[in-house]
Structure 1
């Protein structure tokens, strides 16, 4: 295909399409974080706790309500009596237990991870607050142009004796 032929095909395709699409972003109203000016994902400690709590509740309900031990017994009894259904029932029960175990493991993982995340973020927040608040005071104290010669640095406050004079 020659270059001219390619240009003709592109022009023809462009003329056949009455409206063209341009993808530089999605409309503001369709953005999931439209209310957040930075566009960053935000999460609250209450959100993390609620997710972990629901995962823990689901784990407990699965443990209490989804385990079916009577199926194992029925499968064994039927198999012992020579019914082919007994083997099939035992197979289904084994598969159910495996799938249930995977689901319960996932719930436990989510619950534990949300607890860990909550504690980790609380610790990070305290660490950041402590260091950031001290840095601005420290930085102001080491600024070379803090005051003309002979005057005190205003960052450290005024001397009480000077206020009385």
Structure 2
């Protein structure tokens, strides 16, 4: 390794260290800590886009790919299965593995669906909370009525 390369590696490491979060220091005096930037913010538009991506891309993809995997696995199970009274142990193992995999895909699909609903309902939940708080604050207290 040439001396110039070594100097460049050291300079890159120093630059990277100055931009990463340091865990051996106190939080800023204003409070907080960690790294929060524009990528960590959420907006109604971002939530709507995420829900749309789940609905339009992820769910159809999971369904399509799940059907394809099920078809090919079932074909393999039949090919390895007993034709003349004797079959490969692979057939039964594939069948059990496929049953487990199907359960996991159903759980994934349920999780995607609940995440999509949560992303869609967040704005409504915040609005309902705001309206409820405003209604409670606008009521007259006993002191005001005296």
User: Which consecutive residues of structure 2, in runs of 5 or more, have no partner in the other structure?
Assistant: 1-23
Q: Pick one of 35, 38, 42 that aligns with 1:32.
A: 35
Q: In structure 1, what is the equivalent of residue 66 of structure 2?
A: 66
Q: CA deviation at 1:94?
A: 1.5
Task: Give the alignment's Cα RMSD to 1 decimal.
Answer: 3.6
Q: TM-score when scaled to structure 1?
A: 0.50
Q: 1:84 to 1:25 in 2, by over 3 A?
A: same
More RCO (CA 8 Å, sep 6+) = 2
Q: CA deviation at 1:59?
A: 1.8
Q: In structure 2, what is the equivalent of residue 83 of structure 1?
A: 88
User: Which consecutive residues of structure 1, in runs of 5 or more, have no partner in the other structure?
Assistant: 1-22, 36-40, 143-165
Instruction: Give the alignment of 1:46-65 within 5 angstroms.
Output: 46-56=45-55, 57-65=57-65
Q: In structure 2, what is the equivalent of residue 121 of structure 1?
A: 126
Instruction: Give the alignment of 1:1-165 within 5 angstroms.
Output: 25-27=26-28, 31-33=34-36, 43-56=42-55, 57-67=57-67, 68-70=69-71, 71-81=73-83, 82-126=87-131
Structure showing greater Rg: 1
SS of equivalent to 2:81: helix
Q: Distance in 1 between matches of 2:82 and 2:37?
A: 64
Q: 1:101 to 1:73 in 2, by over 3 A?
A: same
1:55–1:107 Cα contact (<8 Å) kept = yes
Q: Distance in 2 between matches of 1:100 and 1:115?
A: 22
SS of equivalent to 1:94: helix
Q: TM-score when scaled to structure 2?
A: 0.55
Q: 1:108 to 1:34 in 2, by over 3 A?
A: closer
Corresponding residue pairs, total: 112
